[in-house]
Amino acid sequence: MKREAGRFFWVAVSLGLLSLLLVGSWLAPERLSPVEMDAAGLGFANAYLMPWEYPPFGTDERGVPLLDYALQGARIVTVPALVSGVVVMLFSVLAGLVRCAGVGWLDGALQGASELVGALPRLVVVLVVALLLPKEWRVLMPIGLTWALLAAPGAMDEAAATAGRLGGERFVEALRAHGFGAVRIYLYHVVWLNLRPVIVRQGAEVMMQVVFLEIALSYMTVATNVPDITHSASTVSWAQLLYHGYTALIGGRDLFHALALGLGLLALVGAMTQSFRLAARAR
């Protein structure tokens, strides 16, 4: 009873945090709020305001609310990260089902493909993909999907190993002997009851990795002053918050609240991942 209550709690937390990101991405403005000059016309109105002066998160050096950054960043990452996570989960389910179905040649082929795909550093492949993408396709979705495809081999290995530990074909045969049909055996017994903890954790981890990948790539573009490769020039990523924080650290500018917000958003994504993992734990 206590265990079920604990699980329900983590399901609520994980879905709540995911909903927060989805709502945030839906509410994100198309463009950042327009900057206003101060009365004297010499500087920006509302610049460098702290969260308690300009709720909820304060403003940047031009008076633009940091809430805009948070919402636009959510719009950039949420859907691609979610799709990437689902893609990895689908691959894992496939690998687990193949192991249970005992399709030897396919199992072998998947293992061989895993070996080759897993041989290269992922970020190198991502950058090559970014190079080859037409400029108008340079958004996070194709990059996230590339990352998911690169993460899939490891996830598939793990899912296949989990299915193997169940007994693979023998497990399926035993359930057939109980009179269960294929759909119930594969979808309920194999996937839902046994693979679920593994595939949900993998999906959540890839979601987190895609978000962190976007932040890394965007931070690098901001830091090296080059055009973004994960979003259009009219939107800002959470990485911009981190860069504001960096300039605060080295230049003494009053933007530590931007750094705090950036780190807080990363922590939120990390917490969401951990919550999914705890919610999907094996019974």
Partner 1 sequence: MNWWVRPSLRVASALLLPFIVPAVIIGALWALPGDPALNLCSPPSCNPEKLAEHWGLDQGPVVFYQEWFAKAVLLDFGKSWQVLQGFSVTELLKESFPVTAGLMVLSMIPLLAASFAAAMGAMPRRLDIGWQGLGLIPAVILALFFDAWLRITYGEQDLTGTRMAFGAVVLGLADGTLSGAIVGTRSVLEEEVKQRYVQIAVMRGESSLSNTLPNVLPALVGQFRARLLTILSGAVIVEVVLGLPGLGSLLWDGTLSQDFGVVLAATFAFSILSGVVLLVQGLIEVGVSMYTRRSPDVAMVGPVDA
* Residues engaged in binding partner 1 (CB under 8 A): 112, 115-116, 118-124, 127-128, 130-132, 134-135, 154, 212, 215-216, 219-221, 223-224, 226-227, 229, 239, 242, 245-246, 249-250, 263, 266, 270
Q: How many CB atoms lie within 10 A of CB 195?
A: 27
Minimum CB distance to partner 1, residue 46 (Å)? 26
* 194 vs 221, beta carbon nearer partner 1: 221
**What b-and-e string marks burial along 57-78, b requiring 16 or more CB atoms within 10 Å of the CB?**
bbbbbbbbbbbbbbbbbbbbbb
Beta-bridged to residue 59, according to DSSP, are 65
* 46 vs 146, beta carbon nearer partner 1: 146
Q: Token pair 């950054």 is at which residue?
A: 69
Query: Could you give the C-alpha distances from 283 to 85, 121, 141, 159, 170, in angstroms and in order?
Result: 23, 35, 34, 17, 22
What lies within 8 Å, CB to CB, of 30 at 6+ separation is 234
* 46 vs 275, beta carbon nearer partner 1: 275
Phi, psi at residue 248, to the nearest 5°? -65, -40
Minimum CB distance to partner 1, residue 85 (Å)? 17
* 186 vs 219, beta carbon nearer partner 1: 219
Minimum CB distance to partner 1, residue 8 (Å)? 25
Q: Token pair 């396709």 is at which residue?
A: 137
Minimum CB distance to partner 1, residue 213 (Å)? 9
Minimum CB distance to partner 1, residue 55 (Å)? 26
* 126 vs 172, beta carbon nearer partner 1: 126
